């Protein structure tokens, strides 16, 4: 079968690497792809918002499975256009992708189905927002409703900051994403991510991870798309994972089916492990980036088989995915200036040396310029390694980082620190 993978980041490089190994994969195409993905796939420039053009490509190349990596094409309904024409797709419909595309949609769904999440109020104007703030304590969380590239959430530590965040959203800064907002109660605890794949009915766990969203060591500085991750996240114990499935993920998948918008694809639950149990922070309708990179390094099953079974509604008949008990850890090398103003064009060398240590380097934002690999985005490389535990995986990942020559780049030096500290305590 021919497979078409959509997207261009480190997540998609990791997916391309695994899909290319699938026994079902005859030829892998990727659009737009990147120089790392080009090692596994033929790149083709498609306009992903032009659904007819993507469909025409699928028909011309006899594509048997389309894998949609990022959220924007999902929220934009690309999977509906393809599925409607009979092309199997891994990725939810436009209606189901509202779980990521609209915070208010998800909060209302949780309220209707008793799914544990922070108390909230929907607001549609600055005045409503200001009035709602009075009902919450401090800290308080303010979120633009729609997709805002990770920038639409403020955890306000003072009343003034909260008011500023409400004003900011209704000033039009986030465009349509900020036409509505959600004000939320602050949840206290440690965060963990849980992944499940589902065809709308059968739900299969796909591992856990912990991300590092702040740009600086010790979780300081502005939020980013993620500066590194590791998997599994043992803080999500088997007991807590069971609770997350039973009280959050399974009721969500059931509710979506009942309400006529079955969810098919990977469901990424951002969880807060609070004193009062596991609470949902948010859903994403796709694999996390860079969480996908560590999951793929642990995945021992055939990714193509799993994704096709999801797309064809027959996940129940398949053996559950096998993930290595090893820990995988990835360090993001970003361009100086990220997240505000990343410098483009910085030269990169030493990737072969880094991989000679046993690590895997995924390309996140690179380009080839006159034969030279250069930075072409905020997050540039994902240096990923496996070990028996987080301590070993961390040491191996940083040994590979140190073999890379990227003068205009930087990375956090403490990815995995919570788990490494727990391991040191035995």
> Which segments of 69-167 are extended strands (E)?
89-90, 120-123, 140-144, 153-156
Site string for ligand GLY, 184-223 (x = CB under 6 A): ---------------------------x------------
Q: Does 342 bind ligand GLY (CB under 6 A)?
A: no
Of 159, 40, 147, the C-alpha closest to 99 is 147
Residues forming the site for ligand AMP (CB under 6 A):
118, 141, 153, 155, 184, 186-187, 191, 213, 270, 281-282
Neighbouring residues of 311: CB distance < 8 A, sequence distance ≥ 6: 65, 88, 89, 90, 199, 264
Q: Does 284 bind ligand GLY (CB under 6 A)?
A: yes
Of 297, 292, 333, 299, the C-alpha closest to 415 is 333
Q: Which option in ligand AMP, ligand GLY, none does residue 141 bind, with CB closer than 5 to 8 A by kind? A: ligand AMP
Q: Does 291 bind ligand GLY (CB under 6 A)?
A: yes
Cis peptide before 296 (omega within 30 of 0): no
Smaller CB separation from ligand AMP, 214 or 344: 214
For residues 169 and 128, is the Cβ–Cβ distance under 8 A? no
Shortest distance, position 212 Cβ to ligand AMP, whole Å:
10
For residues 231 and 244, what is the distance between their CA atoms, to the nearest angstrom? Answer: 17
Question: Which residue, chain included where needed, has tokens 């509604």?
Answer: 313
Q: Does 289 bind ligand GLY (CB under 6 A)?
A: yes
Smaller CB separation from ligand GLY, 10 or 200: 10
Size of interface with ligand GLY, in residues (CB under 6 A): 7
Shortest distance, position 75 Cβ to ligand AMP, whole Å:
14
DSSP state of 37: G
Shortest distance, position 291 Cβ to ligand GLY, whole Å:
6
For residues 128 and 179, is the Cβ–Cβ distance under 8 A? no
Residue nearest ligand GLY, Cβ-based: 226
Smaller CB separation from ligand GLY, 58 or 292: 292
Residues that bind ligand GLY (CB under 6 A): 211, 225-226, 284, 288-289, 291
């Amino acid at each position: 079968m021919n497979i078409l993978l959509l997207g261009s980041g480190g997540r998609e490089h990791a997916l391309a690497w695994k899909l290319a190994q699938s026994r079902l994969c005859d030829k892998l195409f990727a659009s737009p792809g990147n120089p790392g993905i080009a090692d596994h796939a033929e790149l083709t420039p498609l306009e992903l918002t032009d659904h007819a053009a993507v469909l025409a490509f699928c028909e011309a190349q006899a594509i048997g499975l389309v894998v949609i990596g990022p959220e924007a094409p999902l929220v934009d309904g690309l999977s509906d256009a393809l599925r409607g024409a009979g092309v199997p797709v891994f990725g939810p419909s436009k209606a189901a992708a509202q779980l990521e595309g609209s915070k208010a949609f998800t909060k209302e769904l949780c309220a209707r189905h008793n799914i544990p999440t922070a108390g909230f109020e929907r607001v549609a104007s600055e005045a409503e927002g200001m009035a709602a703030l009075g009902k919450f304590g401090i800290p308080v969380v303010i979120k633009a409703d729609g997709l805002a590239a990770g920038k639409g959430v403020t955890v306000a530590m003072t009343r003034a900051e909260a008011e500023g965040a409400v004003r900011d959203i209704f000033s039009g800064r986030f465009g349509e994403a900020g036409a509505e907002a959600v004000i939320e109660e602050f949840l206290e605890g440690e965060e963990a991510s849980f992944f499940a794949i589902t065809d709308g009915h059968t739900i299969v766990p796909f591992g856990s991870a912990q991300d590092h969203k702040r740009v600086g060591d010790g979780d300081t500085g502005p939020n980013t798309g993620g500066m590194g991750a590791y998997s599994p996240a043992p803080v999500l114990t088997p007991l807590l994972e069971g609770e997350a499935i039973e009280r959050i993920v399974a009721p969500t998948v059931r509710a979506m089916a009942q309400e006529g918008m079955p969810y098919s694809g990977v469901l990424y639950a951002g969880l807060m492990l609070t004193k009062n149990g596991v609470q949902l922070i948010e859903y994403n309708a796709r694999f996390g980036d860079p969480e996908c990179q560590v999951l793929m390094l642990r995945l021992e099953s055939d990714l193509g088989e799993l994704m096709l079974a999801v797309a064809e509604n027959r996940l129940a008949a398949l053996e559950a995915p096998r993930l290595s008990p090893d820990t995988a850890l990835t360090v993001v090398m970003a361009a100086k200036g990220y997240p505000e103003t990343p410098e483009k064009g910085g030269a990169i060398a030493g990737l072969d040396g880094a991989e000679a240590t046993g690590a895997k380097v995924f390309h996140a934002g690179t380009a080839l310029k006159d034969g030279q690999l250069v930075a072409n985005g905020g997050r540039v490389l994902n240096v990923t390694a496996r070990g028996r535990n987080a301590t070993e995986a961390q040491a191996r990942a940083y040994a590979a980082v140190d073999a890379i020559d990227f003068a205009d780049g930087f990375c956090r030096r403490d990815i995995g620190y919570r788990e490494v500290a727990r391991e040191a305590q035995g």
